[in-house]
Chains A and B, each alone.
Chain A
Amino acid sequence: MTLLPRIVPLGEEAITVGLGTVTTEAVHEKVRSLAHLLETRALAGVLEICPAYTTVTVRFDPDLTGVATLEPIIRAMLEGPLPFPAEQSGAAHEIPVRYDGVDLEVVAERAGMSPREVVERHTAREYRVYLIGFVPGFPYLGDLDTALVMPRRPQPRPRVPPGSVAIAGAQTGIYPFATPGGWHLIGSTPVVLFDPARKRPSLLAAGDRVRFVERS
């Protein structure tokens, strides 16, 4: 049995706080609330707060703080009412997509629908940014229309073109750079997801909301 929250060391310079075992909107709300509280409190020695699906990873300077100091503070935060401020509902973004991905036909066939219907279903809903990871700016978005849920490709491609819009499992995402990738490519976007020269280098942040808009 797992006791929640699960607070465990991640090496010598971080801890991971687990708030659930499966990804749900309720768990992710807790994740965003705790991340927000930790950002606001600016605890001594805490360097970075990284929200993910069901966890918040807290990176710190081990000479200034540690698990023993942080664990009771975090438990107290989670026992109190978790504020869920309005700004935590996340910024809304529209991402233009040309649905020209090399896997669109295969995805349609697998889902037993036309490519057109894949596009309609993919653009029909607003997605939550659960986390940014894998490479800089890569958003893990969910949840995908259940009719489009399918396992990733058995063999990842060695190089996925940057800007590829892709799906895998219950997620959809965008490859910011030419990297290896095992997701199904259904479209492409000219949007730059990560630019170190921007004030906020990553276009998207955990908690943001994204809608894909078809462009020809």
Chain B
Amino acid sequence: MKLVLEGVQKRFGDRTVLAGVSLEVAEREVIAFVGSSGSGKSTLLRCVNLLEPIDDGRILLDGDDISVPGLAPDPIRRRIGMVFQSFNLFPHLSVVDNVALGPRKVLKVDKRTARERARELVARLGLADRADAFPDQLSGGQQQRVAIARSLAVEPEVMLLDEITSALDPELVGEVLDVVRELKSNGMTMILATHEMAFAREIADRVCFLHEGRILEQGAPEQLFTSPREPRTQQFLQRVIDSGRL
């Protein structure tokens, strides 16, 4: 197993956001988390890459416990890449420098090589002509693709994608999803939190429905989307269908 979560719990003050999440993710597997806002999807991802410390439970990467309190997080975070809903690009750096920063500082690659590789990576994602532009000069879809390139540049083993198309105009969503498809075909292990049901259906090996901090139901997309077992899953899906997103 690449990534294992055992009974992960997370509280903010007296509010329990994750009430015991257990999950096994195999290498090359793509897991999609769906659920209403506030169900804990983002929190879960932030716990996996140690941006948030968990209150109980364990997280294992390749069998090693990475949730030990006091463990140095930086090497772990390099191995678990994260892409955010709001891109979080560094506005004072050009696209190439954004993507090259990680390799330079974390992988200790020299500046010239890092920038060359960054340029190649950015070109592969279709942004060769914007390589020297600055984030504020790009469209949302372009920025998100740069964000993905930036995460890929440090050669992660797992990618966490937190609602990466939620902030995008509909016509820009496609270009980002294309990139994710390519990541999957290259064998990247991924966990995505998403509202794009059609996409989750297409790309995920397994879909988990997160409700009130727990995985209420999980299964192959065909099975979960067409014949969910839990009533609440059905309610959720019904709402999604009604709003025209499935």
* Mutual binders A and B: no
